Amino acid sequence: MFSWSENFSPWQTLKSWRPYFLIFVLGFLIYSQTLFFNFTYLDDQELIINKVELLSNVKNFGLIFTNDVFFSVDKFYYRPLLNISFMMDAIFGSFLTPVFYLDNILLHILAAALIFYLLHRLLRRKLLAFFLSLIFLLHPMLVQAVAWIPGRNDSLLTVFVLIAFIAFLNFLEYPRLRSYIAYLFFFLAALLTKESAIGLPLLIIFYFLFVNRGALEKSDKFLLVVGSAGVTFIWFLMRYFSLGGEPSSTASVFGFFSNLPALFLYLGTLIFPFNLAVLPILLDSTVIYGVISLLIILAFLFLSQHKRNNYIIFGTLWFLIFLLPSFMNFSGVPYFNEHRLHLSFFGFLLVIAEIDFIKYLDFSKRAVKISAVTILLLLALISVWHSRSFSDRLTFWQAAVTKSPHLPLAQRNLGVMYYFAGNFAAATSADVKALELNTQEPMVHNNLGVMYMEKENWVLAEQEFRAELKINPNYDIALFNMGDLFVRRGQDASAIPWFQAALRANPNYYEAVDRLLILQKRLK
Are 383 and 307 found together in one domain?
Answer: yes
Q: Do both 371 and 499 map to the same domain?
A: no
Q: Which pLDDT band, with edges at 50, 70 and 90, does 229 fall under? A: very high
Do the beta carbons of residue 430 and residue 408 sit within 8 Å? no
Q: Which of 390, 408, 424 is the last residue of a domain?
A: 390
Question: Residue 430 falls within a domain, yes or no?
Answer: no
pLDDT at 6 over 70: no
Q: How many residues does the chain have?
A: 524
Tell me the pLDDT tens digit for each residue of 474-514.
Answer: 999 999 999 999 999 999 999 999 999 999 988 878 889 99
Residue 435: the pLDDT is 96
Spatial separation of the C-alpha atoms in residues 490 and 495, rounded to whole Å: 9
Q: For residue 120, is pLDDT > 50?
A: yes
Assign 253 a pLDDT band (cuts: 50, 70, 90): low
Q: What is the pLDDT of residue 217?
A: 92
Cα gap 342→323, rounded to integer Å = 9
Residue 160 sits in which domain range?
A: 4-390
Confidence tier at 467 by pLDDT (50, 70, 90):
very high
Specify if 224 maps to a domain: yes
Name the average pLDDT for the chain.
92
Residue at 414 is within a domain: no
Q: Are residues 467 and 340 in the same domain?
A: no
* Residue 265: pLDDT band with limits 50, 70, 90: very high
Per-residue model confidence as pLDDT tens digits over 122-139: 999 999 999 999 999 999
In this structure, of 197-206, 210-219, 340-349, 368-377, the range with the lowest mean pLDDT score is 210-219
What tens digit of pLDDT does each residue of 436-466 get? 999 999 999 999 999 999 999 999 999 999 9
Percent of the chain with pLDDT over 70: 94
Tell whether 431 is covered by a domain: no
Work out the percent of the chain whose per-residue pLDDT is above 90. 84
Residues 262 and 324 in one domain: yes
Whether residue 185 is predicted with pLDDT greater than 80 in this model: the reply is yes
Q: Convert the pLDDT of each residue in 138-174 to its tens digit.
A: 999 999 999 999 999 999 999 999 999 999 999 999 9
Please tell me whether residues 292 and 190 are part of one structural domain. Answer: yes
Report if residue 432 sits inside a domain.
no
Domain boundary among 356, 390, 424: 390
- Pair (374, 280) in one structural domain: yes
- What pLDDT does 3 receive? 45
Closest CA to 457 of 428, 494, 477: 428
Return the DSSP state at 510.
H
pLDDT at 332: 57
Q: Judge if 99 and 204 occupy the same domain.
A: yes
Q: Does residue 257 carry a pLDDT above 60? A: yes
Co-location of 366 and 469 in the same domain = no
Q: What is the pLDDT of residue 246?
A: 54
Q: Does residue 32 belong to any structural domain of this protein?
A: yes
Pair 386, 506 in one domain: no
259 and 141, same structural domain?
Answer: yes
Is the distance from CB of 44 to CB of 148 less than 8 angstroms?
A: yes
**Residue 5 confidence (pLDDT) above 50:** no
Cβ atoms of residues 311 and 243 within 8 Å: no
Say what the alpha-carbon torsion angle 97, 323, 82, 69 is, to the nearest 10 degrees. Answer: 110
Q: Which residue has the higher pLDDT, 52 or 470?
A: 470
Looking at residue 72, what is its pLDDT? 77
Task: Give me the pLDDT at residue 328, please.
Answer: 80
pLDDT at 227 over 70: yes
Residue 170 resides in a domain: yes
Q: Distances in Å between the alpha carbon of 241 and those of 65, 68, 228, 236, 392?
A: 10, 11, 20, 9, 37
What pLDDT score does 310 carry?
97
* Backbone φ and ψ of 140, nearest 5°: -60, -25
Same domain assignment for residues 363 and 480: no
Residues 6+ apart with CB under 8 A from 224: 168, 171, 180, 183, 201, 204, 205, 208, 216
In this model, does residue 373 exceed pLDDT 90? Answer: yes
Q: Is the pLDDT of residue 287 over 70?
A: yes
Q: Is residue 420 part of a domain?
A: no
Dist. CA 249–CA 255, nearest whole Å: 10
- Do 451 and 384 reside in the same domain of the chain? no
Given this model, what pLDDT does residue 4 score?
42
What's the CATH code of the domain at 448? 1.25.40.10
- Judge whether residue 107 has pLDDT over 70: yes
Query: Does residue 317 surpass a pLDDT of 70?
Result: yes
Write down the pLDDT at residue 331.
58
307 — pLDDT class (breaks 50, 70, 90) = very high
Name the residue among 180, 313, 192 with its Cα closest to residue 243: 192
Residue that finishes a domain, picked among 371, 390, 409? 390
Considering its fold, how many domains does the chain have in total?
2
List 281's β-bridge partners, or say none: 335
